[in-house]
Structure 1
Amino acid sequence: MKRLVFLIGFLLPLLAGAQQAVSFSGYVKELFMYYQPEQQIPGLDRDNLTTNTIHNRLNFKWYPSDQLTVVAEMRNRLLFGSLIREYPAYQSVVDVDNGYFDLSFVPAQGKGWFMHSMFDRAYLDWVSGNWQITAGRQRVNWGMNLVWNPNDLFNSYSYFDFDYEERPGTDALRIQYYTGMTSSAELVYQIGENDDEMALAGLYRFSQWNYDIQFIGGWVGTDYIIGTGWAGNIKGAGFRGEITHFIPKNDEVDSEMATVASISADYTFPNSLYIHTSVLYNSHGQKGNAGGMDPFLNNKLSAKYLSLAQYSLFAQASYPVTPLLSASLSGIANPNDGSWYFGPAFTYSLQNNLELMATGQLFFGDQGTEFGDIGQLLFGRLKWSF
């Protein structure tokens, strides 16, 4: 019922304003995945799994006035292959909406395939003078780092979910006030069924000493939070960091005090070689074997639980081999249990709006470690944008 009320109330103004100024864009992708598990899957008479995902995105914006913008964006995916055929319950893993409004649904399905649709953006954006108010499903991006974002309180994402460039959104009311050319204050209220699913937090951002600096505070779910972040450079190299401290609201909730921090540096050489390194610290992370990371399902992912390990190390290098071909190598290591991840990627531009990509997510380590029980995944993707 909440989904129906939300969609009717939101889409009727869009249809009524069809004659006004609008913009429409999107893309179509075909993603193939080959998965070689580290261990034989119980009950499965095969040692590999495959999926094909035909992914269509639709982005619609309506400008009824100079001050108001109405946005509706959705993703539609057709999934099929041995993973869906062997594990019919995988549909329930995909058809999940963590927002207050359930805007995720399965319009069609069959034996070994299903189609999944979801509105991940649906909001009204109003701007007047120094004020900006956004209401609805939106992305509230407070992160400043490029891989791990302890300041990104409202819609955390996994680095391994590379095929979701837009990142998830949250059902919230966001009020922003621009105090200057490079400074602003904002307040975000995330709606939920109860206090443990709600959030109310504020941010103040300003520039000083050639750095963008921000401070955050409030409460998110079961925790009070306070944190800071920065982005600047040291002799031409980007230098970014985020720190958030989580304090349980009371002793009765299922939570724990924690500090999560990440620091990163990146640099582009004159020959266009790009390098990037980052470190993540979780005070409540595992000091020993941190087994349990699932590349397909990580519902516990949040700014407080960005990794299972106490320490994580990241490194990346990318280079444009030709004007049309680029190559990238990335890796993540858990220094406590010795497990690690390696991700090669190659992207080739066939046309201005047509791109071919091949990448891998290769996990290594002993049994019971963070990455040791996962296996190897290979991907091929063709993307057409319009």
Structure 2
Amino acid sequence: MKRIFVLFIIILPVVLHAQDKVTLDGYVKELFMYYTPEQSIPGLDLDHLTTNTIHNRLNFRYYANDQITVAIDMRNRLMSGNLVREFPGYQSTVDVDNGFVNLSTVPFSGNSWFMHSMIDRAYFDWMKGNWQVRVGRQRINWGINLVWNPNDVFNSFSYFDFDYEERPGTDALRVQYYTGMTSSAELVYKLGENANEMALAGLFRFSQWDYDIQLMGGWVGQDMVIGGGWAGDIYGGGFRGEITQFIPREKDSGSETATVASISGDYTFSNSLYIHASVLYNSHGKTGKAGGFDPFFNNDLSAKYLSFAKYALFGQVSYPITPLLGSNITGIINPSDGSFYFGPAFTYSILNNLEFMLTGQLFFGEEGSEFGDIGQLLFARLKWSF
């Protein structure tokens, strides 16, 4: 928490003397979750768990001039419910910062509640001509697909974490050079306490045959990586793909060689009906009962381990029922063990900046399968943006 105070003390004089160069926006959300586990919880006389989260986000920008921008974004969450009370370890899974500098803290807590604050963006950006240099905590998005991103080696995220639209950040130095209107080269150095936490990788983007293509490679943690991706269309429908090869840097590191690839297609009809399908392949995934997925305590997600299964299939259909009411249905199937996820969602626009959402994350399958031991989660969310 002291680091957070120091950052605001540093920027406060700037804000006071240059208010015309400052912007501040964000949102406030109320998210309620009702969870019915697939199996009874040992030692607890409960058939369901609940959480209520009041989530505030602040996005601060200081535009010093046409070339220099300073950004600091912060999320504050007040979380309560019997999940917090019955599982004291849940707080420690929320209070996690995988960056080089720990900007996560729990300043206040009680028996069945706690407040979590985190700065997930804090960077200095400089642009001049074809050059752009950004240093600090930032989002480095190398992914192309909409669900699974094997190329996103710096900021992997879980598809099921729908309430974190901004995605995690990385403490890094990023240098970009724009070689043309649709082409660029960049180099990223990620800070770490040792070689297995550091990364140095490059990416080159260009356009060819009406497709956006990228090639990437370098050193990421315990592995050397090489890969690429594309984005284009076939008869008006989106067509995207990514593939990354992971090769251990050292034979005795405990890491393993792996190939991770995903392909997706999507199409929007004239009546605004939208369909989307995607396939994921993990060479190191399981073909039997995959087991092990945990919606609350899984912090080990990476581009190398996007799924426990060797194969995964995704499907989505969305349609605006009225201009204010939208519907969306998604599903993920593990074809090897037969387990699957089903996610219906409805959103209603109350005002231009006020939205209500109902959604579910429903998991089914046999015991020991990837999704079979989870259960069903229901969510209600009210979001006000400013």
Q: TM-score range by the shorter chain?
A: over 0.9
Number of the residue aligned with 2:57: 57
Aligned residue runs from structure 1 range 82-97, under 5 A? 82-97=82-97
8 A contact 1:357–1:382 mirrored in 2? yes
Deviation at 1:297, TM superposition (A): 2.3
Q: Give me the whole-angstrom Cα distance separating, in 2, the residues matched to 1:187 and 1:377.
A: 40
Determine the C-alpha separation between the residues in 1 that align with 2:44 and 2:188. Answer: 46
Aligned-pair identity in percent equals 70
Report the equivalent of 2:294: 294
Q: Which residue number corresponds to residue 191 of structure 2?
A: 191
> What do the CA deviations read for 1:156-179 (whole angstroms, capped 9, x no partner)?
000000000000001000000000
Q: Work out the CA distance in 2 between the residues paired with 1:4 and 1:219.
A: 33
1:180 equivalent to 2:177? Answer no
Task: Find the partner of 2:14 among 13, 17, 37.
Answer: 17
Structure 1 residue 309 corresponds to structure 2 residue 306: no
Q: Secondary structure of the equivalent of 2:196? A: helix
Q: Distance between the aligned counterparts of 1:5 and 1:135, measured in 2? A: 17
Cα displacement string for residues 217-264 of structure 1 (whole angstroms, at most 9, x for unaligned residues): 001000000000000000000000000000000111010000000000
Q: What is the alpha-carbon distance in structure 2 between the residues aligned to residue 44 and residue 190 of structure 1?
A: 43
Match of 1:264 in 2: 264
For 1:86 and 1:239, the matched residues in 2 are separated by 45
What code does the residue aligned with 1:143 have? G
- Tell me whether 1:325 sits opposite 2:322 in the alignment: no
- Note if contact 2:4-2:119 (Cα within 8 Å) is conserved in structure 1: no
Residue 90 (structure 1) shift: 1.1
Give the CA deviation at 1:367: 0.1
**Greater shift after overlay, 135-144 or 293-302?**
293-302
Q: Normalising by structure 2, what TM-score?
A: 0.98
**1:88 offset after TM fit, Å?**
1.8
Could you say what the CA RMSD is over the residues aligned between the two structures, in angstroms? 1.0
Q: What SS class does the counterpart of residue 165 from structure 1 fall into?
A: coil
1:5 CA drift (Å): 6.0
* Structure 1 residue 15 displacement after superposition: 1.9
Amino acid at match of 2:89: A
TM-superposed deviation, 1:16 = 2.7
Residue 78 of structure 1 corresponds to 78
Q: Tell me if structure 1 keeps the 8 A contact 2:3–2:103.
A: no
| AA partner of residue 280 (structure 1) | L
Identify unmatched segments of 5+ residues in structure 2. none
**1:38 Cα shift?**
0.2
Separation in structure 2 between the aligned mates of residue 5 and residue 14 of structure 1, nearest angstrom: 13
In the alignment, the residues of structure 2 paired with residue 192 and residue 11 of structure 1 have an alpha-carbon distance, to the nearest angstrom, of 24
CA drift of 1:85 comes to 1.1
Distance 1:255 1:80 in 2: 38
Corresponding position: 1:255 with 2:252: no
| SS of 1:16 mapped into structure 2 | helix
Aligned-pair distance for 1:6? 8.1
Matched length? 383
Cα distance in 2 between the residues matched to 1:175 and 1:15: 28
Q: Distance in 1 between matches of 2:248 and 2:135?
A: 28
Distance in 2 (CA, whole Å) between partners of 1:216 and 1:309 is 25
Task: Verify: 1:222 aligned to 2:222, yes or no.
Answer: yes
Query: Following superposition of structure 1 onto structure 2, how do residues 100-119 of structure 1 map, counting pairs within 5 Å?
Result: 100-119=100-119
CA contact (8 A) 1:14 1:70 kept: no
The answer to whether the 8 Å contact 1:69/1:124 transfers is yes
Residue identity in the other structure for 1:313: L
Distance 2:253 2:362 in 1: 37
SS of the aligned residue for 1:31 comes to strand
Query: SS of the counterpart of 1:196?
Result: coil
Q: Distance in 1 between matches of 2:205 and 2:11?
A: 33
Separation in structure 2 between the aligned mates of residue 196 and residue 240 of structure 1, nearest angstrom = 30
Find the counterpart in structure 1 of residue 39 from structure 2. Answer: 39
Shift of 1:7: 6.4
Partner of 1:66: 66
1:264-321 C-alpha deviation (Å, 9 max, x unpaired) = 0000000000000000000000110000001112211000000000000000000000
Contact 1:14 1:62 in 2 (8 A): no
Q: How much has 1:11 moved relative to structure 2? A: 3.9
Shift of 1:120: 0.3
CA apart distance, 1:12:
4.7
Alignment of 1:136-175 (within 5 A): 136-175=136-175
Per-residue CA deviations over 1:3-56 (Å, capped at 9, x if unaligned) read 856863x44552232132010000000000000000001111111000000000
Q: Which runs of 5+ in 1 are unaligned?
A: none
